[in-house]
Structure 1
Amino acid sequence: MTQTVVTSPTVLLTGFTSGIGARMLEELLEHPSRPSLVLLARGAADLEDALERARATGLVAMGALADLGDLGSVRTALEQIHAAQERGAVRPVDVVLLNAGAQFTSGRRAGAQGHELTFAVNVIAQHLLLRGLEPLLAAGAHAVLLGSSTHRGKKASFNLVPDPQWRDPEDLARPEPPADGPVRSADERGKGGVAYASSKLALVTLAHDWAERLAASGHRLNTYDPGLVAGTGLGRDMPASRYWVWKHVMPAMSVLPGASTPRSTARHAVRLALGDAHGALNGGYVEIGRVTRAEAATFAADRRERLWAWLEGAVRDHLPTYAASEGSR
């Protein structure tokens, strides 16, 4: 597959309000291709501020509110983008950069549809976004999903996050039951860490099928692993003392192999997304700018088939009206 040259691409970005995503937005605002932006955010004030900044630099920008913990909200955002395309306000999307994700110190939280919130945001909503965006893509479009070294196990995350635990998607999407008595905070954090690592294992698994599906229509999809990036908003659910260490002490780890800073890793991610690096790559796993390979377990056919089928059922009632309901690969 050859790289499609786009002089002024239309780029859709999620998760740009803090951390890596905020640096991604900065990279896009400064990129010489002068991209048009489609921004999705949960908060109206954050969205409006980003749109004002983009327009102040002379870029075309539109936005939509999307809470990834609520599939109905995601559907509404997708339908707004489709309507904007229909009236000619937004061109077909050339680049999809799905950066938004979530990590919590418990596995007990649930999204609007009752799914465990980490899995809802990091897997189900990502699948729905891709299903809804598929008909809105330009020829040769490129999508990038945000993976994580946590899918490889705790050693790859400097032992900060527990090992992922693959289970049937129905079980991964089920919240832990409410506590019936006092709980140890360490146990809760451990369960939250397992939920996060497991959701990233599922997302990397899902990415293989999306890369194959999009390639069939002349598009590309790759997974980007930002490495360990301490100090980002991903840790905001931590207790105050732990979050202070995360924000002010642990960023010093960025000098270690497998770690990075928000600015550096965002630059690599945007270069990948816009085709400045690895312009012909499809189905790749890119870690801080370097092409590697996802864990072998993510290629298991039985896991992939079950995950895709389950996700199709989970999003079926939330697909935008313009999107085909058929999910066969």
Structure 2
Amino acid sequence: MDSRTTLITGATQGLGRAIALDLAARGQTVLLHGRDQRRLDAVAGEIRAGAPGATVRTYLADLADLDQVHALADRVRADEPRLDGLVNNAVVGGGPEPYVRQLSRQGHELRFAVNHLAPYALVRGLLPLLTASAPARVVNVASIGQEAIDLGDVMREREYEGLSAYCRSKLALIMATFELAEELEGTGVTVNALHPAHLMDTAAVRAYGLTPATTVEEGMRPTVRLLVDPGLGSTTGRYFDQFSDVRAHEQAYDREVRRQVMALTRVLCGGPEPA
């Protein structure tokens, strides 16, 4: 049995739910995040039924509101004695109306806000607990769908399309993964990103009108591996396509682009501007 504690965002359905069920069966304490308490309670009940004695707690927050993201981090730090893993899984996909540009509570483009800003802000807020619990692992669920970020139009105010915005937000998340891994080198906290599986059978895939090609279980396995495989304990700052360590979009390795994207990210998340 495993005494570790892991927080999974977007845990009420799809990949997040599958990860939570698997970790609970391994004996981990699972912290479920969602934005609907009824659905959170349903998954928590499912976990308890399938893994008698499992420890599961729920956390309610809308990741489209950075104030709620910061409050979520504060609550987890206050309530939890340790945090060994964080899976940033919650996502806004291409959407059923991909040409309608949506905004977060703070007025940021919605996909950039939920898929990139929220995970970054959550990691930042939870770092004291993660480092105190080290060795700890952060896994950012990215995508093989990556598109170069236009630094002159990061918020996609021109020629908007939801799937394109999603692909740019996922590349931004990979950039943040690389930056955080470098920053946290030597702390015992690793940060990696992965594409879990191609077109999993999830609500986000179906909402955009795509036909699922794989199951969430196929995506769950490589994601959980990054959390529990002893051989990956020191692996950090990498992007995986399922089980393979591969290169992400070339823009992710452009340090000047990364510097600009992360400078904007810190400002939008309420952090200080870099010197």
Tell me if both proteins adopt one fold, taking TM over 0.5 as the criterion: yes
| Distance of 1:29 and 1:106 partners within structure 2 | 39
Deviation at 1:236, TM superposition (A): 4.9
Structure 1 pair 326–274 and aligned structure 2 pair: CA distance change class (3 A)? farther
How high is the TM-score relative to the length of structure 1?
0.75
The CA deviation string for residues 7-60 of structure 1, in whole angstroms up to 9 with x for no partner, is: 4111111112222222112211222xx111122111111112223333442122
Structure 1: give runs of 5+ residues left out of the alignment: 1-5, 85-89, 152-163, 177-186, 255-260, 317-324
The Cα shift of 1:174 comes to: 5.0
User: Of the candidates 109, 121, 135, which is equivalent to residue 102 of structure 2?
Assistant: 109
Query: RMSD value over aligned CA atoms?
Result: 2.3
Residue 143 (structure 2) aligns with: 148
Within 5 A, what are the aligned runs for 1:126-165? 126-137=119-130, 138-151=133-146, 164-165=147-148
Amino acid at match of 1:73: Q
Contact 2:24 2:55 in 1 (8 A): no
Indicate which of 238, 244, 251 corresponds to 1:297: 251
Cross-structure match for 2:153: 171
Corresponding position: 1:118 with 2:111: yes
Aligned identity (percent) is 29
Instruction: Please report how far the alpha carbon of residue 116 of structure 1 lies from its aligned counterpart in structure 2 after TM superposition.
Output: 0.7
Q: Structure 1 residues 217, 276: CA separation in 2 closer, same or farther (over 3 Å shift)?
A: closer
Give the letter for the 2:185 counterpart.
A
1:224 to 194, 219, 239: 194
**Corresponding letter in the other structure for 1:41:** G
Deviations 1:80-120 (A, max 9, x none): 11221xxxxx2211011111111122351001000110111
- Matching residue of 2:68: 73
Q: Are the equivalent residues in 2 in contact too, given 1:229–1:262 (CA < 8 A)?
A: no
Partner residue of 2:237? Answer: 283
Matched position secondary structure for 1:231: coil
Cα 1:327–1:44 shift into 2, 3 Å: farther
Structure (1 or 2) with the larger CA radius of gyration? 1
- Among 22, 39, 64, the alignment partner of 2:59 is 64
How far apart in 1 are the matches of 2:269 and 2:156? 15
Kept in 1, the 8 Å contact 2:12–2:32? The answer is: no
Q: Which has the higher contact order (CA 8 A, sep 6+)?
A: 1
Distance 1:229 1:15, change over 3 A: same
Structure 2: how far apart are the matches of 1:326 and 1:224?
28
Question: Where does residue 15 of structure 2 map in the other structure?
Answer: 20
Separation in 2 of the partners of 1:54 and 1:91? 21
Structure 2 unaligned residues grouped into runs of 5+: none
User: How many residues are treated as equivalent by the alignment?
Assistant: 268
**Structure 1 residues 207-242: Cα deviation after superposition (integer angstroms, max 9, x where no partner):** 11011122242211111111312431113543xxx3
Q: Secondary structure at the match of 2:153?
A: helix
Deviation at 1:296, TM superposition (A): 2.6
Give the Cα separation in 1 of the matches to 2:249 and 2:114: 22
Match for 2:16: what amino acid?
G
Q: CA deviation at 1:166?
A: 1.4
8 Å CA contact retained: 2:222, 2:243:
yes
SS in 1 for 2:184: helix
Which residue type is aligned with residue 200 of structure 1? Answer: K
